[in-house]
Amino acid sequence: MSFLELKDLRVHFPTDDGLVKSVDGLSFALERGKTLGIVGESGSGKSVTSLGILGLHKGGRAKLGGEIWLDGEELVGASAEHVRTLRGKKMAMIFQDPLSAMHPFYTVGSQIVEAYRIHNDVSKKVARKHAIDMLGRVGIPQPDRRVDSYPHEFSGGMRQRAMIAMALSCDPELLIADEPTTALDVTVQAQILDLMRDLQRDFNAALIIITHDLGVVAELADDILVMYGGKCIEYGTAEDIFERPEHPYTWGLLGSMPRLDRDRTERLLPIKGSPPSLINVPAGCAFHPRCTFEDRTGGKASTEVPQLVETEGGHLVRCHLPRDTRRSIWETEIKPSLEAS
């Protein structure tokens, strides 16, 4: 069994409007020292998945189903209190917007100290030294002084570094970074990504990077999972996804991927339409209202839910199009147009 394994994870929220199926049958596995990138549009269920792994839906309104195995332990059925003790120590998380994710009234140092001392029975002084060390390691200059600064006194990039320092303070084995660079500008983004890669190597942690931007995972991820409407629609190695993507949605993502050698605002193949409703999921393939190739599936797209099937060597795709059709569309229609630009 892998270090982290999700089996048919379901996270549903009962609301006044109906049941929101934010995550609906998600499975994947991840080993120590490996990086998984989860990509998908806004609302596809990425954050809900990561919060689910951390057990942060427990005690809330969410209905959980399926299994989450972490280092041989099942977490969905485990007690909230037990999962709490794992949180921060065994698994940690880096959040999207470090300004709102850090408490404005406490110093950066004290927030790291707090995180450290939950899981380590040490004096405040020792913890503070550790906090300074951590700040130094994530590249904050003069960490012994900045440790007493408040979050608002940091720049955006420094805050994200501090956030990373906080998450890494207890040496977690699983690190989930939920859109760690979205709030940052491009240069800082690159620095933070470099930092995470280095740290992951040092700590030998399993890393999940969540983003709606394929560019972010291009350099970091070993494997990539593409989510759409709470489901995995394509899964494979980074090479699979970038070189041989087989799902029309993934093509769309690639087409809208900003590249450093291209004007950011220019989008070649924008995905038309908007993300699906999670309450009244479109019948058949959830993507079909937006899919350019929907007509090539012989009407199945709007009636039958496609299954996630292996196309070859662990590369999974959820699409009714025959494998050959998918490959030829990619080779003859999509890839050239991407390269042309």
Partner 1 sequence: MVTYIIRRLIWSVVMLSIVSIITFAIFFLVPRLAGATSEDLAARYVGRTASAEQVKVAAEKLGFNDPLVVQYGRFAKGIVVGADYDYGPGVERCPAPCFGYSFLTRLPVWPDLLDRLPVTISLALGAAVIWVIAGVATGVLSALKRGSFFDRAAMSIALAGVSMPIFFTGMVSLVLFSYGLKITVAGGTYTPFLTNPATWAYDLLLPWITLAFLYAAGYARLTRAGMLETMNEDYIRTARAKGLRERTVVVKHGLRGALTPILTIFGLDLGLLLGGAVLTESTYSLPGIGKYAIDAIGRQDLPQVMGVTLVAAFFVVVANLVVDLLYAVVDPRVRLV
Ligand X SMILES: Nc1ncnc2c1ncn2[C@@H]1O[C@H](COP(=O)(O)OP(=O)(O)OP(=O)(O)O)[C@@H](O)[C@H]1O
Residues that bind ligand X (CB under 6 A): 13, 15, 20, 22, 40, 42-48, 212, 278
Number of residues that make up the chain:
341
285 forms part of the interface with partner 1 (CB under 8 A): no
Q: Residue 152's binding partner, choosing from ligand X, ligand SF4, partner 1, none, with beta-carbon cut-off 5 to 8 A by kind?
A: partner 1
Shortest Å, Cβ 87 to partner 1: 4
Q: Name the residue with tokens 């949605």.
A: 249
Q: Residue 175's binding partner, choosing from Mg ion, ligand X, ligand SF4, none, with beta-carbon cut-off 5 to 8 A by kind?
A: none
Identify which of 82, 78, 58 has the alpha carbon closest to the alpha carbon of residue 68: 78
Q: Which is nearer to ligand X, 134 or 286 (CB)?
A: 286
Q: Name the residue with tokens 């427990």.
A: 58
Instruction: Decide: 318 and 247 in contact? Cβ < 8 Å.
Output: yes
- Of 22, 35, 47, 49, the residue at the interface with Mg ion (CB under 5 A) is 47
- Of 86, 135, 214, 227, the residue at the interface with partner 1 (CB under 8 A) is 86
Instruction: Decide: 131 and 211 in contact? Cβ < 8 Å.
Output: no
The CA distances from residue 153 to 14, 46, 110, 161, 168, in Å, are 40, 30, 14, 13, 21
Q: Where are the alpha helices (DSSP H) in 93-185?
A: 98-101, 108-119, 124-137, 143-146, 156-168
231 forms part of the interface with ligand SF4 (CB under 6 A): no
Residue 26 has, within 13 A of its CA and on its CB side, a CA count of 33
Q: 322: how many CB neighbours lie within 10 A of its CB?
A: 11
d(C-alpha 12, C-alpha 256), whole Å: 29
50 forms part of the interface with Mg ion (CB under 5 A): no
Q: Which stretch binds ligand SF4 (CB under 6 A): 71-79, 182-190, 268-276, 280-288?
A: 280-288
166 forms part of the interface with partner 1 (CB under 8 A): yes
Q: Which is nearer to ligand SF4, 14 or 273 (CB)?
A: 273
Using DSSP, state whether 203 is helix, strand or coil: helix
Q: Which helix (H) or strand (E) holds 317?
A: strand 315-318
- Of 12, 34, 46, 87, the residue at the interface with partner 1 (CB under 8 A) is 87
Instruction: Decide: 140 and 158 in contact? Cβ < 8 Å.
Output: yes
Q: Which of residues 297-336 bind ligand SF4 (CB under 6 A)?
A: 297, 301, 306, 319-321
Longest C-alpha distance within the chain, in Å?
Answer: 68
Q: Which is nearer to partner 1, 169 or 297 (CB)?
A: 169
- Of 95, 228, 251, 287, the residue at the interface with partner 1 (CB under 8 A) is 95
293 forms part of the interface with ligand SF4 (CB under 6 A): yes
Q: Which is nearer to ligand X, 66 or 139 (CB)?
A: 66
Q: Which is nearer to ligand X, 49 or 297 (CB)?
A: 49
In one letter, which amino acid is 21?
K
Q: Residue 48's binding partner, choosing from ligand SF4, Mg ion, ligand X, none, with beta-carbon cut-off 5 to 8 A by kind?
A: ligand X
Contact set with ligand SF4 (CB under 6 A): 248, 285, 287-288, 291, 293-294, 297, 301, 306, 319-321
Contact set with Mg ion (CB under 5 A): 47
